[in-house]
Structure 1
């Protein structure tokens, strides 16, 4: 495994006392993000509703990297709670708080408490492209077949 990329992080006052995001296994791809909501003010996410959940984190990604905010599979499988704009993108030049837009697709309300792991964050390199206008594109066997065109 290569040396880790260094990412500067600052915890905002409402995240004081919470641990920094961490990997939950030696081969985990994502760091678990934690809800930085009030100890005495859990967030009840009703079925069919969405909410922006603060993490209390501000990061400075190196140039050429992004962070992706993705759902935690356990929350989705057990409760129907997922990240609505998945994956959410944090650009290298963003310096605001990372928030997680959660939605409850389950049939029952779900309570989010301070310190609960709510999503995962993957830091990845970004490839930038240059779009070039073309009069025609090379043909492929698939052609313009879209959703469902390659089979079941």
Structure 2
């Protein structure tokens, strides 16, 4: 996968092992994420996602389990060439400090298909969220 560092603050994405699903993404700056708040963490990395794929920005299990930190809005399109940002949510009761160089998320390349949309009429009901029963 091709990438570029947009500043000297950027850290090259790494994998924890040869078979790790994702590349760790690192914060390029210091941030404070207040309790029950969010922040967009800039990585200062530009990535060319391989053809036929998209990048899923996923949480790091340690941050979620230990600090109640989650990742949102985590999609990098194949044709996106901007600064990869990570939306961090702090679900804890304490302010969470992100330091420059901290691993904040992981980027996983996943295959994607692009189906055409065809409008049609349907007879299926409009119920959802458990409307077909409890078992």
> Could you tell me which residue of structure 2 aligns to residue 25 of structure 1?
17
State the shift of 1:144 in Å.
5.0
Name the SS for the 1:107 alignment partner.
coil
TM-score, length-scaled by structure 1: 0.78
Deviations along 1:6-45, one digit per CA (max 9) or x if unpaired, are: x1100011435x3x212213332111111111xxxx3221
State the shift of 1:145 in Å.
4.7
CA distance in 2, matches of 1:122, 1:74: 17
5+ residue gaps in structure 1? Answer: 1-6
Residues paired across the two proteins, number: 134
| Poorly superposed stretches of 4+, deviation over 6 Å | none
State the shift of 1:63 in Å.
2.6
Name the SS for the 1:15 alignment partner.
coil
Of 75, 87, 99, 1:101 maps to 87
Is residue 44 of structure 2 the alignment partner of residue 56 of structure 1? Answer: yes
> Could you tell me which residue of structure 1 aligns to residue 9 of structure 2?
15
Name the SS for the 2:101 alignment partner.
coil
Contact 1:15 1:57 in 2 (8 A): no
> Could you tell me which residue of structure 2 aligns to residue 128 of structure 1?
114
Name the SS for the 1:74 alignment partner.
helix
Q: CA RMSD in A?
A: 1.9
Deviations along 1:24-75, one digit per CA (max 9) or x if unpaired, are: 13332111111111xxxx3221101111111110011233211011111111
Q: Which one has a larger percent strand, Structure 1 or Structure 2?
A: 2
TM-score, length-scaled by structure 2: 0.87
